[in-house]
Amino acid sequence: MKLKPSLSINAERLHARIGELAQIGKIGDTGVCRLALTKEDREGVELVRSWMEKAVMKTRIDPFGNLIGVLEGRNAAAPVLMLGSHVDSQPYGGRYDGVIGVLGAIEAVQTLVESGIQPEMNIEVVAFCDEEGCRFNKGLFGVRGMTGKLEDGELERTDKHGMTRREALLEFGCDPAEIESYVFEEGRIATFLELHIEQGPVLEAMGQPIGIVSGISGPVWWTVEMTGFAGHAGSVPMPMRQDALVGCAKVIVGLNELAKEISDAPTVGTVGSLSVFPDSRNIIPERVSFTVDFRDIELVRRDRLEERLRTLIEEACREHGLTYTIREDTRSEPRFCADWIKGLLSQEAAEMNLAPPELMSGPFHDSLTMSYVCDYGMIFVRCKEGISHNPKEYAAPEDIELGAELLYRAAKKISECKRGDAHG
């Protein structure tokens, strides 16, 4: 029987903070709703900011809505070690998604400070803005903004109430005008580490409390609109209909079948949001708009799925007399974690009497964007039944402690190196 590792972090403090943050935007007994750039999001950010300051970090909120805390190192000019995740949530979310990565990072820094350790370089803890993407239908906004990867028109994207992201940023207290002059400084960040719940069932099936991420699947998001012709549901004969919802239904079923074709592949495809016009029980649907989300760790296989899905949409529209448009909202290639970080995490875990397995991530994370500007690594924490984006999302306190402890030990080791990494 392996000995339970001794903890350097203050587990009681970490769990208390997770519980306190969960009260902001609380829904039901265990759920949260802190949509990006809302008043609940701002309230959560301010609470997290207060904890950063207790950890002797200097804090600011940048033009993209990112909360950044900085612990000064011996060489402030050196490329930084960055830790973090996000605290915005889905509309029907849980209390751990993103949160343990931010609060675990603060705990790691606070433990360094309380141990009298000054890092060689600055350590930055970031609560990235709008990782989820559910409000404006395009995620990773804050991390893409920080790294200079925003696309044209992003500030004009609207939520379901017609508010633009620009307006939401202003209401949040940011100045979107500063975005236009912002330039990311290449090489400023040396390493990025992120702690996150797995959001899947693999670790639980393996009986492992934590895992080391090998890479992140490449997501593609579409918004598809199919248009037919409205008519009376009681009088238009079936062969003469141009029913947009029937065409949409065939695409949904087809996507599901395509994603399941290779049984042992991690390919996934989802239609998660759908709207129907005119939305009346006795009118044939004229227009349907729906989202498509498909992902894979293997780019060639994902591209093949995309080609076949486009053909499926074309055939469904031709069969039912419809027209269609496809708007691409997100596209990223799969991104793999740095070998040296995986090795470091394995070594530090061994010192904790743990042997975490490597596993891929189907969901994207802020790490996905960070991978384009620096080496990155991720630690996964087991979550019950793989449930996430749901109030029933749960990670055991002892598993969170192990993940946060491994994050602390890895950050400590990296921060002792003058180059900002632990190569060789």
- The per-residue pLDDT for range 313-358, each reduced to its tens digit, is 999 999 999 999 999 988 888 999 999 999 999 999 999 999 999 9
Q: CB under 8 Å to 94, separation ≥6 — which residues?
A: 30, 31, 32, 387, 388, 389, 390, 391, 392, 393, 394
Q: Which CATH architecture has domain 218-331?
A: 2-Layer Sandwich (3.30)
In this prediction, residue 218 carries a pLDDT of 86
pLDDT over 60 (residue 77): yes
1-15, 32-46, 96-110: which has the minimum mean pLDDT? 1-15
Residue pLDDT, tens place only, 192-245: 999 999 999 999 999 999 999 999 988 899 999 999 999 999 999 999 999 999
Asked if the model's pLDDT at residue 420 lies above 80, the reply is: no
Task: Give the chain's end-to-end CA distance (angstroms, integer).
Answer: 32
Report how far residue 317's alpha carbon sits from residue 327's, in angstroms, rounded to the nearest whole number.
Answer: 16
Q: How confident is the model at residue 423 (pLDDT cuts 50, 70, 90)?
A: low
Residue 374 has pLDDT above 60, yes or no: yes
CA 381 to CA 394: how far, in whole Å?
10
Provide the β-strand partners of residue 358.
212
Question: Is residue 422 very low, low, confident or very high in pLDDT (cuts 50, 70, 90)?
Answer: low
Helix ranges, 260-355 (H): 299-320, 339-351
What are the sequence ranges of the domains in the chain? 11-216+334-415, 218-331
User: Taking the CA of residue 415 as centre, how many other CA atoms within 13 Å lie in the half-sphere pointing to its CB?
Assistant: 26
pLDDT at position 88, please? 97
Check: CATH 2.60.40.1730 for 11-216+334-415?
Answer: no
Per-residue model confidence (pLDDT) at position 421:
59
Alpha helices in 173-298 (DSSP H): 177-180, 202-206, 244-259
Tens digit of each residue's pLDDT (9 = 90 or more) over 247-273: 999 999 999 999 999 988 889 999 999
**Residue 300: is it exposed, middle or buried by C-beta count within 10 angstroms (0-12/13-18/19+)?**
exposed
Burial class (CB in 10 A: 0-12, 13-18, 19+), 325: exposed
Is the separation of the CB atoms in 24 and 44 below 8 Å? Answer: yes
Q: What are phi and psi of 79, to 5 degrees?
A: -55, 140
Asked whether this chain's domains 11-216+334-415 and 218-331 adopt the same fold, the reply is: no
> Is the pTM here over 0.75, yes or no?
yes
What was the pLDDT predicted at 424? 44
